[in-house]
Each structure stands twice: as C-alpha cells, then as structure tokens.
Structure 1
Amino acid sequence: MLKIRRVAIDTHPENTAFLLRSADGYGAEQFQAMRKIEITGNAGAILATLAISDDPHIVGVGEIGLGEQAFRRLGLAEGDSVSIAQAKLPRSLEAVRRKIGGDVLSDSEIAAIITDVAAYRYSPMEIGAFLVACAGFMTTQETLALTRAMADAGDRFDWHAPLVVDKHCIGGIPGNRTSMIVVPIVAAHGLIIPKTSSRAITSPSGTADTMEVLATVDLSAERMRAIVASEKAVLAWAGRMNLSPADDVLISVERPLRIDTFEQMVASILSKKLAAGSTHMVIDIPVGPTAKVRSQGEAVRLRKLFEYVAHKIGLTIDVILTDGTQPIGRGIGPVLEARDVMAVLRNDADAPDDLRERALLLAGRVLDFDPELQGGRGYARALDILASGKALAAMERLISAQGAQTETFRPGALRSEILAEEDGSVAAIDCHLIARIARLAGAPMDKGAGIDLLRKVGDQVRRGEPLYRIHAQSETGLRFACDLAAEGSGYRLLS
C-alpha cells in the first residue's frame, strides 16, 4: 500500500503517477515493465502512465505521486492509501491491428476501443496508430459507431426540455467569435442554449479563452446546471465536464500529427453535442482557400456526413456554408476578440460589421428552430434582440452568474505594425498564417497577445501604411511573431 501525494503538475489529458526510483522494493527492471499501472483505492481505480522520480521532494518512500488529472479522477484525499498493479494490455488493441490492416470494424469493436481510450488504457502511440488507420479509410457506418461510442463513454446532460439548441463552427477562421454573440441573443429570446467550448489547441483563441477575459469559465456540472436554470444559457469550458472524454484524449494526439479528417471531425463535434444534451444545432462550415474546408465540393461532402450521422443519433441540425476567405472581425486573440464581441453587443458604431452580420445570420438560424416563431423570422428576431440591448443585458447577467473576471486584461503593451510593401487593394488574407503569427505573439496563453487587423479584403492601402498591428506581452513573443510576418505578411495585394 502506498500513500497518495498530490503533485502539482498538469499532464492533461493523461493520468500520470510518480514513484521514487529504488524504493519500496521495486527494481529498475520492474519499473520499466510497469509503464502503465492500475491504481486502486476505496473509491475506485484509474490507469496511469508511470514516471520515475529521482527527487524525494516530488515523491518519497512509501508514496505515489499523482498529477493533477490523476488526483482529481481518482477522487481520494492526500494521504489516503492505494495499491498498484501492472495494467493489462487492452483487448481492443487487436481490433486496432485489424483496422491498420484495412478491415472495417463492427460497432462493438469501435465501442470497446473508445471505452479503453476514455479509461486511459491506450498509450499515445497506440492512439496514434488507431487515428492514422481511421484517417486512411473509414466507412460512414464506422463514423456513426464512433460518434455513438464517444458520447456513451462519458456523462450526459439532460435538460428535460424538448428543445435545447446549440451552435458550432468547425473552426479555422481567426476572430470568428460568433458564439459569444449568438448565445446571449438566443437566451434573451428564451431558448435553452448550454454552450460548452474547448480552449484553443492550434488557434489563437477559443470561445472559452475569450469568454475567460470576461467571466469564469471553469464551472462544475452542478454550477452549470444552476446557471442554465436561471439564465437559459452558459458559456463554459468543456474541460471540467466529463462529456465525450475520449474526444479530448484523441485530440491530444490528433493535433501534433495534424490529423483532422472529416470523419473524425463529425464524430468529435456531434458526440459532444449529444452528450451535452442538445436536440437542435446549427453548424457553421467556413469555406475558403486557407480554411479547413477549401472547396465547395469538400463542404458539400462534409455537410452530408454531418446530416447523416446527426439524423441517426437523433440530432436535428442545420448546416450553413459561410465565407471563410478571411478572418472575421478585427481582433485575433482573447482580449482583442472580447473587445469586438462586446462592441457588437453594445451596438457600438465602430463594431466590426462582418462579425455582427455573421452572428446575426447564425443566431437567426438557431431561432428558426423555435416552433413558436414564424418560419424565416429568426434573423429579424435576432436583429431586434441585438438592437434593443436585450442581448447585451443577457450577456451581462450571464457574466454575473458565472462570476465576473476579477483580473483586468488589456491588449499587449508591446506592439509592432506590419506595413504594406506596395500600393493596392487587399485581395486575400491567409487565415492560417495570420493565426500562426498571433500564436507566436503569445495568444491564447497571454490573453492580451494577438493581432489587430487594420485592413480587410477589398480595402485600399498605400505603400508604408499598416496592414495589422501585433500585440505581445513579451519581447520574445513579439520578436517571434514579427520574424514570421517578415517572411510573409499573409496579405496579398492587387495593384
């Protein structure tokens, strides 16, 4: 028996345990064999990847250190006793080997794989093998089975209402922070919209990162339920919820490998929405030369896959193909995006028109799900709610309910403007490159880092005038961002 020590190391999403080398009767060979261990206490058991420490300040004799994720998931207190044993290889790995060989897997085989992934029985290498095999070939039925299995692997919300709406964008367009405008509009209308969002993985900001500038987003399931009961809405980080937990594990391996197939995208998005208790949702698919979806043909194929899987799992969806040829709004990065969102909600004269119109379009389509609203009146209703100030009031109530942010965040004080090298009109903006520059500046970890776009497609610019302004919190971040921008600004001008 070993006593638990909490180790303040974030190993998200994996469970990690720490043992002291040459202690407790274990030899190095045994440690090497036990790379994955099962930790059992009186509240249950978890599997964890084993790390060996040579520092008794991290973990001592007779102790097992648990990283933040493992400590939380095991649910015991520091000092409680647990036992450990070598974890057995998951039986579902045989199905992964068959998938690598080109076989089509059954629903039960996919469910077994996802159950083991969610329980952290797979190593990153084994998860990578599964993802690469699926990226090579995956049937529509396998995609459906994957979606169902991912939703079933975790908790589910039930809002006890016939109409629970949501809106999701597949991503890839910097500044496209429409959810923070759509949610208060829809809530002000009276529909339930419990919006859970991820933090940014490869983008300069996610909805949770931007909302965190204004309010607390790390909410427990109980707190989320209470807020939705009072406000009809929430804008929360999904990381605290056990919704489709296998998805977070898969994503942690997908992103470094740059695997983002349509099949895995559909399973990821729909499984989380199903687990979150949504019944109706709008899906935004931006289409553009530097977006995730780069042609109309690809967009139609993705739309049909969304529609097929959603129908089979009982979700009513409305898929919209939108303009993905340039960033939305002016700000890219948490603080700058929050500024734009609040400008739209306040009906400021200088609020970004494209962000406002995109949000109204999507909010209108969500409101069109309301059977009490005359068909096609969703946009007009959304416009009225925004213009009247009801959306702003709903957002202010939501911020208060979630807990207003006590720290004041501002745009990074270190700045550099990227200038046009010739006269002309802006013909195109590379979304992918602009996002990379903003991330190098420090976004989203540095809330104030990012990019302020000073010119958009169609604008005229003269040589030496600024195209955009980079904000950073550190000299290093500013230098990295400026160095990449010097290789190519991301803007294409036509004389």
Structure 2
Amino acid sequence: MRLRLRRMGVDTYQESVVYMHRNCVVCRSEGFEAQSRIVVEGNGRRIVATLNVVTDDWISMDSAGLSEAGWRRLNAPEGTWLRFSHPAPAESASDLRAKVYGQTLDVGQYERLLRDAIAGRLADIELAAFVTACAGDRLGLEENIALTRAMINVGERLQWPRTPVLDKHCVGGLPGNRTTPIVVAIVAAAGYLIPKTSSRAITSPAGTADTMETLAPVELGLAAMRRVVEREGGCIVWGGAVGLSPADDVLIRVERPLDFDSDAQLTASVLSKKVAAGATHVVLDLPVGPTAKVRSAETAASLGRLLSAVAQALGLVVDIHLSDGRQPVGRGVGPALEALDVLKVLRNAADAPQDLRERALELAGRVLDFVPGADGRSGSQRARALLESGAAERKFIAICEAQGGFRQPSAAPHRTVFAAPSDGVVAAIDNRRLSRLAKLAGAPRAPAAGLEIHVRLDQRVGAGEPLLTLHAQTSGELAYANEYLAQHSDIVKLGAAS
C-alpha cells in the first residue's frame, strides 16, 4: 500500500515527522497510531519518522506529508510514491531501559544506543529519557569515560600531519562570551594548528557557530574543513556539518527544549568533539558566577576534576581555567551583535569591549603556553603582540575567505533602549534572565536580534542613562521582549550610590 509524498512546510526542528489522515488505507491497515515510529521509503531512500495523525481534511486520503526535517532526509520529489512499514525494535531498547532503571552501561551498550539515535531508530521522547537518566550524579567516572569513548567511536575522527593540535572550549552559560574567533585567529597567526568545531546555541542566545555564521559560512564538510585548516592553520565551523560527533548533535537536539545539560553529558560532548577533531591540547574555560552555568567554585572544581580525569583517559592534555562568570562579556548578546564585538577586538578599535579583549588574550596565551616559543616570551605576550600587530585580524579574514567568504553582520531594524530609573551603582546582572531576554527578542533564530548591555558591575549610572538596548527583527518580537523586561526590570540591579 502506497501514498503520495506531500511537503508540509512544517518546521519540527530536526525531528522527522510524517502526517497521515486517520482514515487513510495505510493508517487503518497497518494499525498506525499517533506517535508511532514508521519506516518511510521512497526514491531509493529510507527514513524513520514519528507519525502525527490528521483528523481534518487538509491532507487527502492518498497522501502522506513530511515535515521539513523528514523532507530533507528522504530527499524525494513531491508526488513520489511512498511505502510504509513498522520498524524493527531498536537493538538498544534493552540498554535504554537498563539506563533508565539506574544500571551501569559499558562502551558497547552506549555505542548501540548512539548508533540507533543517529539512525533515527529512537524517538525524541526516548532520547529525552536517556538524557534525563544520565543527568545529575547518575554516571560514575568509568561510565562517563565509556560514554565519551562511544561518542567518539560512532563518528568520524580527524588526524593531522603535525602536532600539537591546539583547541579551546568554554562550557558556556555566560552571555556574549565570544572569545573563540579571537583565540583561533591568534593561535593560527602564531603558526599552530587549531581546527575548531563549534556548536549552535543549546540554551543560549548564540553559539559560536551562530555568531561565526554571520561572518562566514560554517556548514563545511570534512574535506572542506581539512582544506581550510591545511591552508590557514585554523577554522571555525559548525560541528554538526562535519559529522565528527553526530551522536552529540542528536543529544543536543533533545537537550535544547529541555533547557539543561548535565556534567556527564557536557563532559562527553566537549571531549568527544575535541578528540574527534584531532586535538591534542585543549584549554577548557569554566566561567563561575551565581547566574552562570557553573554557580560556585566547588561546582567548578568538581566539573574540572571530571573533565581532567576523562581527558586523561582519552590521552588528551587539558588546562582547566576558571574565569569570572558574574556578568556578560562584551556588549552584544546575539549572533550579529557578538560578531561586531569580535571584529572590533580584532581590529584594535578604540571602542572595542576591553573585557572581551583581555579575556580572549588570556585564553589565547594559555593555549600558546602549550608550545613555548624559542624567544622566551610567555604565551600571553605572544598573543598580545599578534593581536596588536594586526596579524590576528589578517588571519581571521583569511580563514573567513577560505571558508567561503567574509561578510559583514546584519543589523536589526527595531530597537528599544531601557534606561536606569534612578541614580545608582550596578550591583548585579542576571546572566540567565539576560539570555532569556535576548532569546525573546529573536536570537539566535534571527541573527541580528538580541541586546546590547551598556554597563558593567560596580559602574555608577545616572537616572535616564541606558542600561540595555534591545534589537529585534520584527516589532512583535520587540514587544514580547519589552514585556518580559518590564516584568524583570532587575535583570540589571542597581544599588544605592554611595
């Protein structure tokens, strides 16, 4: 029994969804029900999709629709005859149940789970159960190592003709902390390899890949990524396009709406991507602050120990760096606004955000300290010289051109300034609510959306002086963000001026 393919034009993020009328011959004969997992075959290709049952007549009895994600994966023209069947039970079903009930899994079991996840044999609701079962303190060190090894084993792994291969990663949670493009430019300008794969936003208003995409293409395949690195020494590409850790991309898809990622998942995610990209030495930045992802020094120390232990088991050299996470870094929060900050730092502009500049120099210096220079200068001294001489900017533009061409970030047409209601001193800035505000304004979906923050902790401000400027692509999104800001006006908290 067959139905004709119809493109529904429905965005279901990355989940493949198939739509059928409840009374169509396939639904009735096969006994398919809402949320059933179904094999869809057509045009010589095969995918597994989740069924949504249609009760109205907006889809005909002889048609089946696919969401945009399913349409891309099946890659068949509209009108193609499709066949449907029940999928075989996922090989890892027993492993998933075992993890949910608190049992310890080995590398082989994790590999089965992850291969089924990549192949689409597990529904998002099952993946959500897996992510939740791995959260908190449910994974010990050996199991965390097993999960990380499995994530490496089910993806590609790059090798480079020379070592060391350097990298830097921040665990996130700090708005505007876009140091990676600056660090990559400095380290590549110093003549070292730094093949950087980055994520899109999970719970933040922008990931490094989102910001970089406003400056140059980031969806490069493995061959293209290799060409860029061989030509320029470094790259900044979206990890999801190169497939180095495809299981991580699937898990991120589930973590995003859940709005959390556990230490175990974070460790496996970060380190699997570093090893897969061929890195040998990595600086790991952990911002610590009351509204950052890492809330306390004790939590940071625990996470640092876990990252170091798993890295050591994988043969990876890491330097754990604890940084100040009490407030945003730079002025922009959102892809294009963060990109503008990056460009100002690289260009040594007079109005470049100095906190972003100094933080990037510190991290670049620590990366360069992995490979001491012959002239006796510290990594920090070499990093500063490369930035101030313009070498880092030239290398960054060269990397952008090698990835497909440099472009200027766009600007949002709608803006609102939020001013200080009274004289005072900036006593606190809520990173989590600030991120939420930027997302409500449209970031990262609308690259130019987000916000600018005009003040820093302990800064004196007068009544009427700007604290924040919201940027939005549409007036509706701006109104939505303004409403949230009106309800949470203490995102930037003012104390009494002394």
Q: TM-score, normalised by structure 2?
A: 0.90
The one-letter code matched in structure 1 to 2:460 is Q
Aligned-pair distance for 1:30? 2.1
Q: Residues 450 and 227 from structure 1, CA distance in 2 versus in 1: closer, same or farther, beyond 3 angstroms?
A: same
Residue 90 of structure 2 is aligned to residue 93 of structure 1? no
Structure 2 CA distance, aligned partners of 1:485 and 1:64? 43
**Percent identity of paired positions between Structure 1 and Structure 2:** 46
- Alignment check: 8 A CA contact 1:22 1:28 kept: no
1:440 corresponds to: 440
2:461 corresponds to: 461
Q: How many residues align?
A: 493
Structure 1 CA distance, aligned partners of 2:489 and 2:35? 48
What SS does the corresponding residue of 1:301 show, helix, strand or coil?
helix
Structure 1 CA distance, aligned partners of 2:57 and 2:364? 56
- Alignment check: 8 A CA contact 2:290 2:296 kept: yes
Structure 2 CA distance, aligned partners of 1:157 and 1:4? 38
Q: Map 1:225-236; keep pairs closer than 5 Å.
A: 225-236=226-237
2:125 corresponds to: 125
Q: Map 1:118-267; keep pairs closer than 5 Å.
A: 118-136=118-136, 137-267=138-268
- Alignment check: 8 A CA contact 1:212 1:405 kept: no
Q: Residues 39 and 275 from structure 1, CA distance in 2 versus in 1: closer, same or farther, beyond 3 angstroms?
A: farther
- Alignment check: 8 A CA contact 2:15 2:124 kept: no
Structure 2 CA distance, aligned partners of 1:492 and 1:356? 25
The one-letter code matched in structure 2 to 1:224 is M
Q: Map 1:396-475; keep pairs closer than 5 Å.
A: 396-404=397-405, 409-410=410-411, 412-475=412-475
Q: Residues 312 and 336 from structure 1, CA distance in 2 versus in 1: closer, same or farther, beyond 3 angstroms?
A: same
1:307 corresponds to: 308
What SS does the corresponding residue of 1:166 show, helix, strand or coil?
strand
Q: Residues 33 and 5 from structure 1, CA distance in 2 versus in 1: closer, same or farther, beyond 3 angstroms?
A: closer
Structure 2 CA distance, aligned partners of 1:307 and 1:234? 25
Aligned-pair distance for 1:445? 1.9
Q: Residues 477 and 171 from structure 1, CA distance in 2 versus in 1: closer, same or farther, beyond 3 angstroms?
A: same
The one-letter code matched in structure 2 to 1:451 is L
Give unmatched runs, 5+ long, in structure 2: none
Mean alpha-carbon deviation: is it higher for 70-79 or for 340-349? 70-79
- Alignment check: 8 A CA contact 1:53 1:59 kept: no
Q: Residues 154 and 82 from structure 1, CA distance in 2 versus in 1: closer, same or farther, beyond 3 angstroms?
A: farther
Aligned-pair distance for 1:239? 2.3
2:331 corresponds to: 330
1:316 corresponds to: 317
Q: Residues 375 and 274 from structure 1, CA distance in 2 versus in 1: closer, same or farther, beyond 3 angstroms?
A: farther
Structure 1 CA distance, aligned partners of 2:256 and 2:335? 21
1:269 corresponds to: 270
CA deviations over 1:240-295 (Å, ceiling 9, x no partner): 22222222222222233333221111011111222222222111100001001111
The one-letter code matched in structure 1 to 2:379 is G
CA deviations over 1:154-207 (Å, ceiling 9, x no partner): 222222333221111111111100001111111111111121212223212111
- Alignment check: 8 A CA contact 2:426 2:492 kept: yes
- Alignment check: 8 A CA contact 2:27 2:33 kept: no
Give unmatched runs, 5+ long, in structure 1: none
Structure 2 CA distance, aligned partners of 1:223 and 1:10? 28
Aligned-pair distance for 1:323? 0.5
Aligned-pair distance for 1:397? 1.0
Structure 1 CA distance, aligned partners of 2:158 and 2:239? 12
Give the superposed CA RMSD: 2.8
Structure 2 CA distance, aligned partners of 1:6 and 1:405? 34
- Alignment check: 8 A CA contact 1:418 1:489 kept: no
CA deviations over 1:42-100 (Å, ceiling 9, x no partner): 97744332345689997884x76554544554577778777543112224222332333
The one-letter code matched in structure 2 to 1:38 is V
Aligned-pair distance for 1:41? 7.0
What SS does the corresponding residue of 2:108 show, helix, strand or coil?
helix
The one-letter code matched in structure 2 to 1:339 is L
Q: Residues 225 and 57 from structure 1, CA distance in 2 versus in 1: closer, same or farther, beyond 3 angstroms?
A: farther
- Alignment check: 8 A CA contact 1:219 1:240 kept: yes
Q: Map 1:337-348; keep pairs closer than 5 Å.
A: 337-348=338-349
- Alignment check: 8 A CA contact 2:239 2:245 kept: no
Structure 1 CA distance, aligned partners of 2:263 and 2:279? 21
Q: Residues 236 and 35 from structure 1, CA distance in 2 versus in 1: closer, same or farther, beyond 3 angstroms?
A: same
- Alignment check: 8 A CA contact 2:409 2:448 kept: no
Aligned-pair distance for 1:448? 2.1
- Alignment check: 8 A CA contact 2:173 2:292 kept: yes
Aligned-pair distance for 1:11? 3.6
Residue 93 of structure 2 is aligned to residue 109 of structure 1? no
Structure 1 CA distance, aligned partners of 2:151 and 2:79? 34
Q: TM-score, normalised by structure 1?
A: 0.91
Structure 2 CA distance, aligned partners of 1:380 and 1:272? 29
Structure 2 CA distance, aligned partners of 1:246 and 1:333? 26
Structure 1 CA distance, aligned partners of 2:34 and 2:447? 42
The one-letter code matched in structure 1 to 2:241 is R
Q: Residues 34 and 332 from structure 1, CA distance in 2 versus in 1: closer, same or farther, beyond 3 angstroms?
A: closer
- Alignment check: 8 A CA contact 1:419 1:465 kept: yes
1:378 corresponds to: 379
Q: Residues 121 and 416 from structure 1, CA distance in 2 versus in 1: closer, same or farther, beyond 3 angstroms?
A: same
The one-letter code matched in structure 2 to 1:309 is V
Structure 1 CA distance, aligned partners of 2:157 and 2:61? 39
Mean alpha-carbon deviation: is it higher for 420-429 or for 286-295? 420-429
Structure 1 CA distance, aligned partners of 2:472 and 2:320? 36
What SS does the corresponding residue of 1:135 show, helix, strand or coil?
coil
Structure 2 CA distance, aligned partners of 1:466 and 1:26? 59
CA deviations over 1:124-172 (Å, ceiling 9, x no partner): 2222222222225221111111111112122222223332211111111
Mean alpha-carbon deviation: is it higher for 447-456 or for 279-288? 447-456
